[in-house]
Structure 1
Amino acid sequence: VPPAHAPITLQRREGGSTDNLIRSWQSQDFTALRDLRNTDSGGTWQLKVADLARRDMGKLNRWRIEIIS
């Protein structure tokens, strides 16, 4: 969740039973991220993760955010 902005859903139930999902999103390819250009990136960013699948448990091992200004 960007500071002072609404939450952005990056992925919704698209992983299936895939193991070791590695994914990245670029602002030029993703409208919701593109809308953040030229806004203040200062403040507290949050990552909210939910695994809603039955039986097939998932976990987040690591993540990062890279802001290029």
Structure 2
Amino acid sequence: YVVETLQTSGGGGEETETYQVSFAGPLPIPDNQTQGVSADVIADRSPAGRRVLALVDIDHSWKGDLRVSLVAPDGTEVVLHNRTGGSKDDVKGIYGLDLESAEDMAPLSQVTATGTWSLRVSDHARRDVGAIQSFQLQFAP
């Protein structure tokens, strides 16, 4: 399911707005299928002066198998994780804050935020399996 929240705060006469949409799984990731799966969220507003953060919780027993990308409504795609980490488990954290993405996320803050955003996850090797547990897209000042 998808959850949408809007948080507004102000201090010193300046108001800021953080908008987020969430996907809750689990959504199984097909083993050794490069087309993978997509967790989709729909943003119905476009906060001004925003940066895009992707909060991901992906369970997988060999994260080096995985390619993870974020696709904006206009088709702009940014690779967040590209088969790194070897035999370590899971991809969890916040891209744009505590996790470094494989590609620069800056182009995502330039696109229109309204529309369908997709977290695409594909598994590129046999035997180890996993699932997208949750995905949250946050537009922050």
Fold-level match, TM-score > 0.5? yes
Q: TM-score, normalised by structure 2?
A: 0.41
Q: Any stretches of 5+ residues in structure 2 without a counterpart?
A: 1-70
Q: TM-score, normalised by structure 1?
A: 0.72
Distance in 2 (CA, whole Å) between partners of 1:44 and 1:21 is 22
**Partner residue of 1:3 out of 59, 66, 73:** 73
The Cα shift of 1:18 comes to 1.5
Partner in structure 1 of residue 137 of structure 2: 65
The Cα shift of 1:36 comes to 2.3
Structure with more helix by fraction: 1
Partner in structure 1 of residue 105 of structure 2: 33
Aligned length: 68
Q: Which has more radius of gyration?
A: 2
**Partner residue of 2:94 out of 14, 18, 24:** 24
Cα distance change of structure 1 residues 16 and 59 upon mapping to structure 2, 3 Å threshold:
farther
Give secondary structure in 2 for the equivalent of 1:9: strand
RMSD across aligned C-alpha pairs, in angstroms? Answer: 2.3
Structure 1 stretches (4+) deviating beyond 6 angstroms? none
Q: Which amino acid aligns with 1:67?
A: F
Structure with more strand by fraction: 2
Distance in 2 (CA, whole Å) between partners of 1:67 and 1:38 is 12
Q: Deviations over 1:37-68 (max 9, x none)?
A: 24321111111111112212222211111112
Q: Deviations over 1:3-41 (max 9, x none)?
A: 1132211111113221233132117x6563212224321
